[in-house]
Amino acid sequence: MPRNALAPASANAFTRRGDQLQSLLVETAAYPQYGDLVSYLSSRRMMPPIEMRYSGGGSFEYSPLPSKDIPQTGVVRAGAPSTVVHELTHAAQRQMGWQYNELKKKSAKQLAPEERQFIDTYEKLIFTPSEFGRKMDFTDVKAARSIAPEWAKEKAGYRASGSELQAFGMGSTVSPNTFNPAPLHVDPTYGTEFSILLDLANRVQKRQPFTPGR
């Protein structure tokens, strides 16, 4: 007899889901990239809860305004280690933006060398010149256009956009992107790029052990 769809899930079902999530996190924790992301997000008190996603793919959901449904940290939903790393990369990108804005409020004389280095690297990778000054964009989209111009043009709306290039690049350090692959050298370039930026962000954050959630 089929279970009533309106009836609550059994305790055993919740236990199985909890076990699957725990297994996912244990498997993902074997990769140092995960530890680096968790360390950075936790130091900013913005580590998002991770929920199991069974339908494939993943998401990082957050609300720019206070929400009773979504915590300030946002929520990661994933079903594979590479997807966890991919979505946590998006969470870290968001925090780096806040961190950059915090540092830009300081005068040049107040900045420590690590802070200056983070600002310079962030501006190199995140900002690109325009005729109106500077605008938010991922400069290194140019690298994808140089490596694989036709692919970058075709996928510009999502896969070859700046934030996704970095997130897929980080995810590919865990396992190859077979579902949504990129041409040779694209993912390694962006995974390396983001790892450098993350290392700098972590160093700066260690100077400020407590930062309230944004």
Q: How far is CA 164 from CA 115, 170, 187, 190, 196, in A?
A: 25, 10, 10, 9, 17
Structure tokens at 129: 């010149």
Burial class (CB in 10 A: 0-12, 13-18, 19+), 17: middle
* Nearest residue to 86 (alpha-carbon basis) of 9, 163, 144: 163
Residue range 38-50, pLDDT digits in tens: 999 999 999 999 9
Count of residues in the chain = 214
Angle at the Cα of 126 (from 134 to 153), degrees rounded to 5? Answer: 95
Please tell me the predicted confidence (pLDDT) of residue 15. 63
Verdict on whether the full-model pTM lies above 0.85: yes
- Angstrom distance (rounded) from CA 76 to CA 73: 9
Structure tokens at 125: 């990778």
- State the pairing for strand pair 75-78/50-52: parallel
Residue given tokens 């929920």 in the structure block: 51
Contact 211, 41 (CB under 8 A): no
Q: How far is CA 132 from CA 120, 126, 128, 129, 136, in A?
A: 20, 16, 11, 8, 12
Residue given tokens 């962006």 in the structure block: 190
Please tell me the predicted confidence (pLDDT) of residue 12. 57
Structure tokens at 36: 């680096």
- H/E run at residue 41: helix 32-43
Q: How far is CA 173 from CA 86, 120, 133, in A?
A: 10, 25, 35
Point out which residues pair with 74 in neighbouring strands: none
Q: Is the dihedral of CA 123, 193, 212, 83 positive or negative?
A: positive
- Angstrom distance (rounded) from CA 116 to CA 97: 15
Within the chain, which residues score under 50 in pLDDT?
1-7, 9, 131-132, 134, 211, 213-214
- Angstrom distance (rounded) from CA 15 to CA 21: 10
